[in-house]
Structure 1
Amino acid sequence: MRISELAAESGVPLATLKYYLREGLLMPGRSQSRTRSDYGPEHLERVRLVRALVEHGGIGIAGAHRILEALDSPPPSRHELLGIAHGALPGTVVEDDAADPDPDVAAFVASLGWGVEDCAPAVHRLSEAVVRARAAGIDLPEADLERYAAAMREVADVDLEVAGRAATASEAMHTVVVGTVLVDPVLLALRRLAQESVSATRG
């Protein structure tokens, strides 16, 4: 198909496709002449992925590049793939001058026995969130955090089972990244519904 047909099929404006091409987010089409290139199903799939990452997931151009590079040359293990995916997600970059995580939060994470790295960006994010919540008067005792953690562990089991059903490492990366970005709102909505349900049963 021509690039105009790719635009129509994907629902992405022609100008945006040309921007993706300039930024290297979309691979060039097969040249048919000096002024014409043909695009196939792989281009349509890439456009949809880029759109999901950049427009819906808020990944940003640099993050999208890292993900696409990993998709084109997947690392040897799916665990490494997960690390690349997490590193590209919004809010996961820890600045060099960032404060160390709150010691109590770091100790809590260690007590879970999950085997995550002390420097994992999510440890910093958790620390920031807990400190902000407590500053606003939300106590979050360790017993409550443990229950939240147990619930999230079950969510993670579902996430990784879904990713594990992918036939290739590239499909697994797509599932992890796009799934995390686009399923987070699903989890939030389910939490709201669950709160309403539990509240109703407790009167």
Structure 2
Amino acid sequence: MRLAELSERSGVPIATIKYYLREGLLAPGRQINARTAEYDEEHLRRLRLVRAMIQVGRLPVATVREVLGHVDDDSLGRALRLGAAVWALPQVPEPDEDDEYVRAAHQEAAALLDRLGWENAKRLSTISPAYRSLVVAVAAFRRLGYGFGAELLVPYAELMYRTAVLDLDNMETQPSEEERIEWAILGAIINEPILQSLHRLAQEEETTRRYGFE
């Protein structure tokens, strides 16, 4: 397809596509002559991914370029490509390791992983943004005087594990390795708000079931 058709099918203006091409977010098309290039379905798929990261995820171009670099690095195994791409997305700041609440949260998080038997998560805990986010959140609860330790977190973690299994099952239905990695990136950007919304809807349902509307 020519640039005009790529724009029409993707809903992305031609000027924006040219910008993505200049920034290296989209691979060049196959050159037909000095002024015309041809694009294919892979360009269309990648363009939609870039658009989702920038428009929905609000990611800066530099971050999108970094994420795509991991997506396209076929020298890595699937687990590393997934991890590197998702970890390149914006994360919470590093916690203050001198903070007593952070130290206590680390102990709670480690105890949680022990109780769950998540040995791989333990091995990745020193570099995992997800582990860091958990520590920051648990520390915030403790700082406010509320306990949210391993005992309370276990059933939540078990539910999330079932969700992760569904995520990967759905990812593996994608026809190519690149599309599986892209699916995971879209999941991190779009699926998490969906899960958060479903969680809140479930809370509304259960709250009104228990206490009524008054």
Equivalent of residue 118 in structure 1, options 110, 116, 125? 125
Instruction: Indicate whether 1:167 and 2:175 are aligned.
Output: yes
State the partner residue of 2:198.
Answer: 190
| Cα distance in 2 for residues equivalent to 1:145 and 1:183 | 22
What's the CA shift for 1:184?
A: 0.7
| Cα distance in 2 for residues equivalent to 1:107 and 1:31 | 54
State the partner residue of 1:83.
Answer: 83
What's the CA shift for 1:128?
A: 0.8
Instruction: Indicate whether 1:151 and 2:159 are aligned.
Output: yes
Instruction: Indicate whether 1:54 and 2:54 are aligned.
Output: yes
Instruction: Indicate whether 1:27 and 2:27 are aligned.
Output: yes
TM-score for the superposition, normalised by structure 2: 0.82
RMSD: 2.2
State the partner residue of 1:38.
Answer: 38
Q: Which amino acid aligns with 1:105?
A: E
What's the CA shift for 1:75?
A: 4.1
CA 59–88 in structure 1, closer or farther in 2 if over 3 Å, else same: farther
What's the CA shift for 1:22?
A: 0.8
What's the CA shift for 1:162?
A: 1.3
Q: Which amino acid aligns with 1:118?
A: S
The percentage of aligned residue pairs carrying the same residue is: 37
What's the CA shift for 1:188?
A: 0.8
What's the CA shift for 1:158?
A: 0.9
What's the CA shift for 1:145?
A: 1.3
State the partner residue of 2:63.
Answer: 63
Equivalent of residue 179 in structure 1, options 169, 187, 207? 187
State the partner residue of 2:96.
Answer: 99
| Cα distance in 2 for residues equivalent to 1:4 and 1:132 | 51
CA 22–12 in structure 1, closer or farther in 2 if over 3 Å, else same: same
What's the CA shift for 1:176?
A: 1.0
Partner deviation per Cα, 1:82-102 (whole Å, 9 max, x = no partner): 21232122216x65xx53453
Q: Which deviates further from its counterpart, 68-77 or 148-157? A: 68-77
Partner deviation per Cα, 1:103-138 (whole Å, 9 max, x = no partner): 323423432321211212211111111112333344
Q: Report if aligned partners of 1:71, 1:169 keep a CA contact under 8 Å in 2.
A: no
Q: Report if aligned partners of 1:74, 1:169 keep a CA contact under 8 Å in 2.
A: no
CA 181–33 in structure 1, closer or farther in 2 if over 3 Å, else same: same
Equivalent of residue 130 in structure 1, options 113, 138, 162? 138
Structure 1 portions without partners, runs of 5+: none
